Amino acid sequence: MTRPGWTCIASVTDTVSAEILRRRLTAEGVAVEVRSDSSLLGEARRCDIFVPSGAAWRARAILDEDPASEAELAQLAGLHAPPGDDGGRKA
């Protein structure tokens, strides 16, 4: 089912990838809807990424940018403190 004013900019085959794209676009200020044609629970299912039609070009440009490095991904996941952050420890 399509919703007027929204454009599908990507389709992925699992919910984890859909969530990554959703978070990346949301962090850049783009509204996102993730839609799935399956009512099955689980990670392996097709998901379509929709954004407002007026933001489709920007959303595609964001997703076309170079992916984050492993260090950036770890930082985003909260696995490592940002550079210069000693976690409140004193030297």
The full 3-state SS of 50-66, as one line of letters, equals EEEHHHHHHHHHHHHCC
Tell me the whole-structure pTM to 2 decimals: 0.66
pLDDT at 76: 67
pLDDT at 80: 58
Going from the C-alpha of 47 to that of each of 7, 11, 29, 83, 84, the distances in angstroms are: 14, 6, 21, 35, 38
pLDDT averages per 10-residue partition of the chain, 91 residues: 85 89 93 83 80 96 80 68 56 50
Show the domain range for 44: 1-51
Give the count of beta carbons closer than 10 Å to the beta carbon of residue 14: 14
Helices (H), the chain: 15-27, 56-64, 70-76
- Residue 76 in domain: no
- Residue 72 in domain: no
- Residue 43 in domain: yes
- Residue 84 in domain: no
pLDDT at 23: 92
**Number of domains within the chain:** 1
